[in-house]
Amino acid sequence: MNIIEIQNVTKKYSTQVALDDISLQIKKGVVYGLLGPNGAGKTTLIRILNQITAPDSGAVFFNGHPLVRKDIEKIGYLPEERGLYKKMKVGEQAMYLAQLKGLSKKEALERLKHWFIKFEIQNWWNKKVEELSKGMQQKLQFIITVVHQPDFLILDEPFSGLDPINTNLIRQELLELKRQGTTIIISTHNMASVEEICDEICLINKAHKILDGNLVEIKQRFKQHIYSMDLHSPQAISFFPANFTVLEQKADENIQHYLVKVMDGGSANSLLQFVMEHGEVLAFNEVLPSMNDIFIQQVEHYNQEHQS
């Protein structure tokens, strides 16, 4: 079942079209990557989902019904521009914002203590926000975003400003929330994070949806039949048949490394059979395109086709 359905949504600001007839569906319990260059329309879509603004035309459904103001209670939103009160104490601010999300004082305190201990920031409860590093503020804002246990999370650049350790911490928490049934939208330019945690993606460019679907299926769709091989052999293969193109070749003592593209008339099996005749195959893997490569390729292709 879909938690979000966006049907033919269009939004304009004066003469600027921010979203042009966008339709997409987000299934319950997935991590969904919302991707696109700066100015593509991602922020406008997020603002519509948060009811900060409304579409000019089209419809948005939440859990099968038209999105209404009360649904905000079931949504958690972490904006790219963090909005904490610098002069307030950390615990005081967290309690205030948790109660704004509908928690009782007792519930808020219990849940916040749990999260503060989990994120090892319990000693900062009585400190002012301005005393926290950018990364610590990020952890605090994440806690505030999830403390009311929303069904649907919208995170805009959630890993911005975090060191590798805290990036991994947030990533693991997101995967745990997913296991618990939370649906998560991540808007980010970090394609490595997309590859690691997203189940599905939507790529928006110049107000249009240009690609969406299951991440694994998309990578398969754009594969180029390239294979990486490690061969135990004292010398390199002197030639390959015409239906194999060697893209890269290097040696490390008696290990020969190859990157080979299978052309028309060839196959992975025939390539493997050929190299087995020249030594012991230590590794043989298909190389799928990265999301970074797909992102660049699809955006550039769209831009070339729609040059004004």
pLDDT by residue (tens digit) across 39-51? Answer: 899 999 999 999 9
Beta bridge pairs of residue 232: 255, 280
- Does residue 135 sit within a domain? yes
Residue 281: name the closest of 257, 259, 264 by CA: 257
- Does residue 306 sit within a domain? no
Looking at the predicted structure, is the pLDDT value of residue 108 above 90?
yes
- Does residue 160 sit within a domain? yes
Most confident of 75-89, 135-149, 286-300: 286-300
Residue type, 162: L
- Give yes or no: residues 38 and 59 share one domain: yes
- Give yes or no: residues 132 and 16 share one domain: yes
Whole-number pLDDT of residue 99: 92
- Give yes or no: residues 91 and 32 share one domain: yes
- Does residue 301 sit within a domain? no
- Give yes or no: residues 178 and 240 share one domain: no
- Does residue 52 sit within a domain? yes
- Give yes or no: residues 46 and 188 share one domain: yes
- Give yes or no: residues 245 and 120 share one domain: no
- Does residue 215 sit within a domain? yes
- Give yes or no: residues 39 and 182 share one domain: yes
Taking only the tens place, the pLDDT of each residue in 267-290 is 999 999 999 999 999 999 999 999
Looking at the predicted structure, is the pLDDT value of residue 56 above 80?
yes
- Does residue 161 sit within a domain? yes
For the chain, the domain total comes to 2
- Give yes or no: residues 142 and 228 share one domain: no
- Give yes or no: residues 237 and 168 share one domain: no
CA atoms within 13 A on the CB side of 45: 35
CB 232 within 8 A of CB 279: yes
CA dist 229 and 287 (Å) reads 10
Number of H helices, E strands in the chain: 9, 14
Q: Among 195, 220, 245, where does a domain finish?
A: 220
99-104 contacts, C-beta under 8 A, 24 or more apart = 101/73, 101/147, 101/148, 102/73, 102/148, 103/147, 103/148
Query: Which residue would you say has higher pLDDT here, 204 or 121?
Result: 204
- Give yes or no: residues 262 and 207 share one domain: no
- Does residue 266 sit within a domain? yes
CATH number at residue 86: 3.40.50.300
- Give yes or no: residues 134 and 229 share one domain: no
Domain span at 95: 2-220
